[in-house]
């Protein structure tokens, strides 16, 4: 029985094929389905979730989310000139962060439909921030104005720090694994 459980959970094709001879097909199918579910819940490779974003990729996603927020502020609050100045000042950094974001989506989605995935992400960001602006325009515009002021008085590190204010749930669901990893106890270092 232990060998059977190992074979099903590891999804060894030879072991599974030999099991299908010994067990009725329905039982084999049910056991394989259960193994897939258990393997996934246990973090097994059977139906593993897409790769998590690294800290660097999460930073790039946050920078893009902040850029979307400021773009919405340009439209909703009439801050066109400030947005243009922001883009001009941080053009190189925004370009680098954009490449990191595209690379993340390529890695996560296997290089397929990247343009569509990136467009969907950027559109979702703009829509979320637009809803924020419609919920409380005054607060949204005041916050955006303070962000513009801070960014224009600072440097590229200021952009990184400002983007850190974008909450995880706003950027990408795969970042949940970052939150779990950050709560995990640190491994003791070797003496």
Write the pLDDT tens digit of every residue in 6-17.
333 333 333 333
What are the strands, taking DSSP E only, across the chain?
none
CB burial of 145-166 (b: ≥16 within 10 Å; e: otherwise) equals eebbeebeeeeeeebbebbeeb
Q: Flag whether 48 is in a domain.
A: no
pLDDT of 22 reads 43
pLDDT tens, 132-167? 999 999 999 999 999 999 999 999 899 999 998 888
160 and 134 within one domain: yes
67 and 153 assigned to the same domain: yes
Residue 10's SS3 state is: helix
Domain-located, residue 187: no
In a domain, 47, yes or no: no
**61 and 113 co-located in one domain:** yes
Query: Do 79 and 112 have their domain in common?
Result: yes
> CA angle, corner 170, sides to 167 and 171, nearest 5?
100
Contact call for residues 134 and 64 (beta carbons, < 8 A): no
For residues 124 and 67, membership in a common domain is answered with: yes
Same domain assignment for residues 142 and 169: yes
| Shared domain check, 35 and 112 | no
Supply the range of the domain harboring residue 91: 55-181
Query: Within this chain, do residues 143 and 173 fall inside the same structural domain, yes or no?
Result: yes
Q: Please count the structural domains in the chain.
A: 2
Query: Which secondary-structure segment (H or E) carries 158?
Result: helix 156-163
pLDDT at 3 over 50: no
């Amino acid at each position: 029985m232990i060998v059977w459980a190992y074979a099903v959970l590891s999804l060894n094709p030879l072991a599974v094929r030999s099991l299908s001879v010994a067990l009725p097909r329905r039982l084999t199918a049910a056991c394989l389905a259960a193994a897939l579910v258990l393997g996934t819940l246990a973090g097994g490779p059977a139906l593993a979730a897409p790769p998590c974003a690294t800290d660097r990729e999460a930073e790039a996603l946050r920078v893009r989310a902040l850029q979307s927020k400021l773009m919405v502020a340009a439209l909703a609050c009439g801050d066109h000139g400030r947005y243009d100045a922001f883009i001009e000042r941080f053009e190189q950094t925004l370009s680098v962060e954009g490449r990191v974001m595209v690379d993340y989506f390529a890695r996560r989605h296997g290089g397929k439909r990247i343009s569509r995935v990136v467009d969907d992400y950027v559109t979702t960001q703009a829509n979320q921030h637009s809803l924020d602006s419609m919920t409380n325009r005054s607060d949204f515009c005041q916050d955006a104005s303070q962000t513009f002021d801070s960014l224009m008085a600072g440097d590229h590190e200021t952009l990184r720090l400002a983007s850190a204010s974008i909450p995880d749930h706003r950027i990408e669901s795969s970042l949940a694994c970052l939150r779990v990893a950050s709560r995990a106890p640190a491994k003791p270092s070797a003496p």
